[in-house]
């Protein structure tokens, strides 16, 4: 993102709710790859940051309710290989 776009974006890059869910899902998948971090810690952080999911927690959403986010990533070939 260039500086002009970044100045406008501030807290929103302009995507829709499904894209946001897909980004959250991808963060969950990649959290264990960050040195000193983990998926479990990310779930706790997302809950503490106030993310709200239909099932009440980031972990419950990721494990049971994220089919739409997985599909969004899959259609765009953005899911990491298993």
In a domain, residue 81? The reply is no
In a domain, residue 2? The reply is no
Domain enclosing residue 20, as ranges: 15-75
Query: Which residues have CB under 8 Å from 22's CB, separation 6+?
Result: 69, 72, 73, 78
Nearest Cα neighbor of 63 from 49, 53, 72 is 53
The pTM score is: 0.78
In a domain, residue 47? The reply is yes
Measure the CA–CA gap between 1 and 35, rounded to whole angstroms: 25
**pLDDT tens-digit series, residues 3-61:** 777 677 655 556 678 998 999 999 999 999 999 999 999 999 999 999 888 889 999 99
In a domain, residue 5? The reply is no
In a domain, residue 6? The reply is no
In a domain, residue 36? The reply is yes
């Amino acid at each position: 993102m260039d500086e002009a776009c970044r100045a406008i974006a501030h807290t929103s890059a302009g995507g829709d709710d499904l894209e946001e869910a897909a980004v959250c899902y991808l963060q969950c998948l990649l959290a264990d790859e960050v040195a000193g971090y983990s998926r479990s810690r990310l779930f706790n952080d997302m809950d503490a940051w106030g993310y709200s999911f239909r099932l009440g927690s980031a972990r419950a959403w990721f494990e049971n309710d994220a089919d739409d986010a997985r599909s969004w990533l899959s259609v765009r070939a953005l899911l990491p290989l298993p």
